[in-house]
Amino acid sequence: MKLTQHTVRLVLAEPLRISRSTMAARDAVRLTIEHEGLSGHGEAVTSVFHRLDTPTLQRLATRTGERLGRFAGPETALHALRVGELDAPGTPAAVTAATEAALLDLVGKRTATAVHRFLGSPAAPRVATARTISLVSPGHAAVQARRLADAGFSFIKIKAGDPDQEADLDRVRAVRAAAPDARLLLDPNGAWSAAQARELLPRFADLGIEAVEQPLAPGDPEALARLAARSPVPVIADEDAVTYDDARRLAGRVHGINVKLAKCGGVHAALRIAALIEGSGTDLMLGCLTASTLGIAPAVHIADRARWTDLDGHLLLAHDPWTGIGGEDGFVSAAGLPGLGVRPRAEAGIRRAAS
């Protein structure tokens, strides 16, 4: 097997402002694993929060390629990855997830099987995804919400954590007025103190918020669990629930856990967490980083397990270099094709022109 890598710049259609930062672009490192004439692809993206810059991802991809050479084929490499024998010690979850995605894509193509089928879902998942509105003015939020509702989105995620707390409330009111039938999720990205959360959550509950994601600064999961026990709306852990052990500590103590493949280590790690929390009173949310369709696709193949799905990272881009999972109408879906079922947009354009 041979691993090659290619880095592209993903530019957002408009800057994404959250409580701790504003992002206008990020790099994506594509991992391509070739074996016996077929190729599988996966993607890892840079992240300031996770301390992954482009040179680091490129170096780690090279190291992974060297280790892949020990295995006879993608099936044995995939098994080794699952049992912790492929990655070098200290490999970040994002690189593990990208490697797993490329191997899954390759194995699926070799067996003419869609990834969701050998992950346990006979039918290709098709689920409603949230679409994010960042810390913009209430007026701009209303315009975005109305456009999203008209396009078919029934689930909207609203960023919060503005230094002006009334601005957060006004933004939610504007979205509610513009999209009165939409389900609303609130995400302060850890911007509130416990006292602020206790004061604000009843007010947001009155506006019909369905759940709040990581209202408190990460690092004190006990405080998050205490807040969840008294919150008038469900509390979903995100930054406080990165690993399997994090999920084990919070299972049954928060209402949801946001599992992102890039932070837990891929679909099999996500499915382990899903199995752990099943029946505990804690529901699964599937989230993502801003990434291309290639980066989002693996999560789509397990999206039928989640109560909340937030897989809109590719929809935030000015240009998505991949295609295959949709989302523009408010629904993401696995295509049912072999592997991940995605392909480069330029290649898709060539095929459409030839048909």
Band (pLDDT 50/70/90 cuts) for residue 346 is confident
Band (pLDDT 50/70/90 cuts) for residue 353 is very low
Find the radius of gyration of the CA atoms of the chain: 20
CA distances from 173 to 21, 206, 216, 233 (A): 23, 10, 22, 17
Band (pLDDT 50/70/90 cuts) for residue 276 is very high
Give yes or no for residue 269 having a pLDDT over 60: yes
Rounded to 5 degrees, what are φ and ψ at 77?
-65, -40
As to burial, measured by CB atoms within 10 angstroms (0-12 exposed, 13-18 middle, 19+ buried), residue 166 is exposed
Proportion of the chain above pLDDT 70, given as a percent: 97
Rounded to 5 degrees, what are φ and ψ at 111?
-110, 5
What pTM does this model have?
0.94
Cβ contact 257:277 at 8 Å: yes
The Cα 45–Cα 268 span in angstroms is 19
Residue of 354 and 212 predicted with greater confidence:
212
Give yes or no for residue 351 having a pLDDT over 50: no
Residue 36: which residues within 8 A CB-CB, separation 6 or more? 73, 110
Per residue in 243-264, pLDDT (tens digit) is: 999 999 999 999 999 999 999 9
- In DSSP terms, which residues pair with 132 in a beta bridge? 157
Give yes or no for residue 350 having a pLDDT over 50: no
Q: What is the mean pLDDT of residues 181-199?
A: 97
Per residue in 143-187, pLDDT (tens digit) is: 999 999 999 999 999 999 999 999 999 999 999 999 999 999 999
Give yes or no for residue 354 having a pLDDT over 50: no
Per residue in 78-96, pLDDT (tens digit) is: 999 999 999 999 999 999 9
Residue 235: which residues within 8 A CB-CB, separation 6 or more? 211, 212, 215, 224, 227, 228, 254, 255, 256
Q: What is the mean pLDDT of residues 47-69?
A: 94
| Torsion (CA) 347, 119, 247, 135 in degrees, nearest 10 | 30
pLDDT of residue 262: 97
CA distances from 9 to 235, 242, 337 (A): 34, 26, 27
The Cα 355–Cα 289 span in angstroms is 34
Residue 152: which residues within 8 A CB-CB, separation 6 or more? 329, 330, 331
Segment among 31-35, 145-149, 346-350 with least mean pLDDT: 346-350
How crowded is residue 169: how many other Cβ atoms within 10 Å of its Cβ? 18
Place of tokens 């094709």: 337
Q: What is the mean pLDDT of residues 6-12?
A: 97
Give the angle 154-270-201 at the CA atoms, nearest 5°. Answer: 50
Band (pLDDT 50/70/90 cuts) for residue 347 is low
